Amino acid sequence: MVEEEHAQSDAMRGAVPPPEDHWRPYADNFRDDPRRAGDPMVQRLLKFLGPNDTLMDVGAGGGRLALPLALHCRGVVAVEPSASMASVLQQQAQESGINNVSLTQSSWEDAQVEPADLVLCSHVVYVIREIDAFIRKLDSHARQRVVIVVYNAPPQSQIYPLWQRVHGQDRLALPSLPQLLEVLEELGIDPQVDELPPQPPRGYDSLQQAVEQLNRRLYLAPDSPEAVRLEQLLPEMVVEKGGVLQIKDAEPLRPSLVWWRPKHPIVGVG
């Protein structure tokens, strides 16, 4: 599924090569105040983490989870391959006076790190090709628990309906919770699955912002017939809710915590 989705993206890009750092335009959205109160995901994860524990955050992004959790544990290793995400994380840690987080700028597949008590991997698995090896490595680096955070549907699924209208073809879906559960079963892992409250559909501050972001997400060249089509279609495809514009009928995404106690070596495929 990952390869087919990426091949469809490449075909839409045409001669334009994929960006070196896919996350650069979005990295700032992954910045959040580490001392914010009442974040249900942080509160839930804290139940797994004691003050003397260590945390490994695989694909830590801008530190949305790693930094608030670092305030309550001994230390965090953040594994993050994207330079723009890593820089948001480091900047935010410095501004917030958090100094028990060390960054390994690498993919998880290539990372050389020591085990930690809790291994967390939030909203990463959708794009992992060699998912069995990736999960085995999560398991083998956890002393107490592995926690994967994943939505019930692909993160971009709310804009999938636009593909048919703009490109005349269905968007090929990335894997999400159902496929992860199948993989874990094949690996002989029997996880707990805790569903958290649904997240409201993404909002755009203005039609102009929606056009800009969707042009990028739909791989539209400026002034192409598809870009013109999107601009014409969009006003009838969005509704205003709570002061922002949302894609009509977009289903809220529901995050789940999929967690287990490590059982290396894992039996199963491969």
The contact set with ligand SAM (CB under 6 A) reads 23, 30, 58-61, 64-65, 79-82, 85, 107-109, 122-124, 127-128
For 15-58, give the DSSP string: TSPPPSSTTTTTGGGG---TT-S--HHHHHHHTT--TT-EEEEE
Nearer to ligand SAM, 71 or 221 (CB): 71
Closest distance to ligand SAM from the beta carbon of 22 (Å): 7
| CB-CB contact of 64 with 30 (8 Å) | yes
How far does Cα 256 stand from its chain's mean position? 12
Question: In the chain, what are the helix, strand and coil shares in percent, each to the nearest 5?
Answer: 35, 20, 45
Helix 225-237 crosses helix 207-217 at what angle (to 10 degrees)?
Answer: 130
Closest distance to ligand SAM from the beta carbon of 108 (Å): 4
Length of the chain: 270
Nearer to ligand SAM, 154 or 191 (CB): 154
Nearer to ligand SAM, 122 or 230 (CB): 122
Rg (CA), the chain: 19
Closest distance to ligand SAM from the beta carbon of 23 (Å): 5
Nearer to ligand SAM, 85 or 220 (CB): 85
Give the pairing type, strands 54-58 and 116-122: parallel
Closest distance to ligand SAM from the beta carbon of 259 (Å): 15
Nearer to ligand SAM, 42 or 234 (CB): 42
Closest distance to ligand SAM from the beta carbon of 15 (Å): 25
Q: Using CA atoms, how far apart are residues 41 and 28, in angstroms rounded to an integer?
A: 19
